[in-house]
Amino acid sequence: MPELPPRPSAEHLRKDAKRLARANGIQLAAAQRALAQSYGHRSWAALLRAVDEARAPRDGDTARRDAALPMLAAVRAGDRERVRALLADGANPRIGDGRDLPLHLAARRGDRELVEILIAGGALGWQTDGEGRTALDAAKLGTSPNRAAVVALLDRTTIADPSFAAAVRAIHSGDAAGLDHLLTARPSLLHERNVGPEAYRMAKRGDYFRDPKLFWFIANNPNLVERLPDTILDVAEVMIRHGVEQADLDYALGLLMSSGAAGEHKIPLMRVLLRAGAVADRNAILATAAHWELEPLRELVANHGYPYDALLAATFGDTRALERLLPGAPPDDVQDAFGLAVINRRVEAARLALDAGADV
């Protein structure tokens, strides 16, 4: 039976569960449960609690403990000005005590303004607490009169515009004809955004799906439905015929390539977007390689003429090519090649990048 490392990563375990689900053709929940049991835990939530306990501040970990507790104390007291002051001084709102996180406490309190302050300060809505719950889960457990307002703020799937919401439902259900009708009646839907609360636009930390455009939803990244419909290629073609902007083609391609939930539709859908003129930029390559989604990268190189550079060679562990490519690579590529080699566990490639000047 494997053991958790001394400083386990919940994010790493989530990715492991997704890979296990894809490899075995099972639901994500079943993969999470199987992974948890392989580590000797009854459930996924129990495994995440063990991760949080392993990462919780110890007596000797004074820096982490001291960083967490003042923020948690201020949130428990509902002291908004104190929370603002701590954030201004550089306090990290993503650090908790192993059980609670600042955003979860504020969500349970039903303090919408405090939740907004924390989001703007860099708190993450998808981060889980010691019970494996998100801040949205915590808000739903609250009893404050403001509970509904806090839930609405944290629920990133909310779409206020009825026509936009109907179009997203058509995408996720694979209703190409219904989507065609909606876009014919209101062509501007392809150019509009589902604008979320202001707090997310104020956030110090980037949010890759903030205020999304309609075409972005074809990638299922973030994972909003269990699986893409079998008619997703028809759905994409309908939107492309109605005139998707170049920037949205490119961005949706990046979302699709790095998506862990596109399943068997990923490569065929990539081909549809590439035929329509979508371009995979450097950010798309980095995100895809960093999420261990190597098949889309192979597709780009093998069938669409994407240049085989140091980033890709490091990702694939192609040391022969890397020895040739690194000497002429820009410093940023050398550094990122090192990072991608480490993420993808290409030890010799990482050594070559270090020799070429990458900084640990």
Structure confidence by residue, pLDDT tens digits, 244-261: 999 999 999 999 999 988
The closest of 128, 135, 136, 100 to 9, measured between CA atoms, is: 128
Q: Tell me what pLDDT residue 60 has.
A: 46
**Residue 297 pLDDT class (50, 70, 90 cuts):** very high
More confident residue, 238 or 96: 238
Q: Tell me what pLDDT residue 158 has.
A: 87
Q: What is the mean pLDDT of the chain?
A: 90
* 167-200 tens-digit pLDDT: 999 999 999 999 999 999 999 999 999 998 888 8
- Longest CA–CA separation in the chain, Å: 64
Q: Tell me what pLDDT residue 98 has.
A: 82
**Which stretch of 24-33, 232-241, 306-315, 338-347 has the lowest confidence by average pLDDT?**
24-33
Q: Tell me what pLDDT residue 129 has.
A: 87
Q: Tell me what pLDDT residue 20 has.
A: 84
Separation CA 135–CA 137 (nearest Å): 5
Cα atoms in the Cβ-side hemisphere of radius 13 Å centred on 170: 23
**Residue 40 pLDDT class (50, 70, 90 cuts):** confident
| DSSP reduced 3-state for 213 | strand
Q: Tell me what pLDDT residue 50 has.
A: 80
The closest of 192, 137, 151 to 168, measured between CA atoms, is: 192
Q: Are 333 and 359 in contact (CB under 8 A)?
A: no
Q: Tell me what pLDDT residue 3 has.
A: 74
